Structure 1
């Protein structure tokens, strides 16, 4: 594997720490409230998950493998990404400056029930479905007067493999 080919790592609290937070609705934990009734079970966040009022979005991401040829960032809001029915992959980079560095790009696999909350200013791609186009949800403050430019990573692009694939 060369320096600009990545395999996604599982989205965990430890792995995501430099980029944001992980909320495991599947597994529960101290930040998750669980309830159940006749024929259903429910898990929700204990607190608000982004620090501003948010708009809910729905995106259909293309399939892995993919090329990170463009990334965006949001200095005005955190962004939560929700994996619902099928796994998705997102690439992120926490680079200061006007564009991310290819060497800083990391990729994460989100399984159903995973929610990640990206810190303000973290560069990221859209999410990509594992081997097939896949829908996912996001929550962020949406302001049409703010244009978040998509830029290619310096030294890129970066190739992200399908999870489990070998180079």
Structure 2
């Protein structure tokens, strides 16, 4: 593992905090951007608006545990990417650096709880999600195009260690 130059503590995700990187939906709580439907023994919530602008693929990833060193980030210039927290909380690091590599100084990390959904805008640098202290699964949606290679790039300024909040 590459030695990290600094440490970043993940913060709880919220619409305001995440807005520079894309959109946030709290499907567990609902709200004005979420449609809720009730039935006999069930409650359903979905986003009020479409989260992808192109046909999408669904993925299921097992992320390693926190803490983790950000030694590589990727971005997608051709699609938004939706990250959906499954049964366990996860942490993701993001950066809105517009250059060919994310800047370590631009990194922010967010904790997503079950029901939290983030939609990364096109061009936002991000890591995989990581479970808090243990491996955890999460879902993602994006337009997967095998002809496009989304390169994993080391942040300028060096690796950053990301920790979950105590």
TM range (shorter): over 0.9
Cα offsets for 1:119-162 (capped at 9, x unmatched): 10000000000111000000000000000000110011000113
Superposed, 1:137-148 pairs within 5 Å as 137-148=139-150
Structure 1 residue runs of 5 or longer lacking an equivalent are none
Q: Which runs of 4+ in 1 moved over 2 A?
A: none
What CA RMSD, in Å, does the superposition of the two structures yield over aligned residues?
A: 1.3
Structure 2 residue runs of 5 or longer lacking an equivalent are none
**Contact 1:3-1:103 within 8 A present in 2 as well:** no
- The Cα shift of 1:47 comes to 2.0
Please give the TM-score of this superposition, normalised by the length of structure 2: 0.95
Superposed, 1:39-78 pairs within 5 Å as 39-78=41-80
- The Cα shift of 1:3 comes to 7.6
CA separation in 2, counterparts of 1:110 and 1:136?
A: 10
**Contact 1:57-1:138 within 8 A present in 2 as well:** yes
- Of 156, 159, 164, which residue of structure 2 is paired with 1:157? 159
Matched, 1:36 2:38: yes
Cα offsets for 1:76-113 (capped at 9, x unmatched): 00000000211000000000111001000100000100
- The Cα shift of 1:117 comes to 0.3
Q: Is 32-41 or 140-149 further displaced after alignment? A: 32-41
CA separation in 2, counterparts of 1:34 and 1:111?
A: 19
Superposed, 1:123-142 pairs within 5 Å as 123-142=125-144
Give the structure 1 partner of residue 12 of structure 2: 10
Superposed, 1:102-117 pairs within 5 Å as 102-117=104-119
Give the structure 2 partner of residue 22 of structure 1: 24
Aligned residues: 163
Q: Is 115-124 or 31-40 further displaced after alignment? A: 31-40
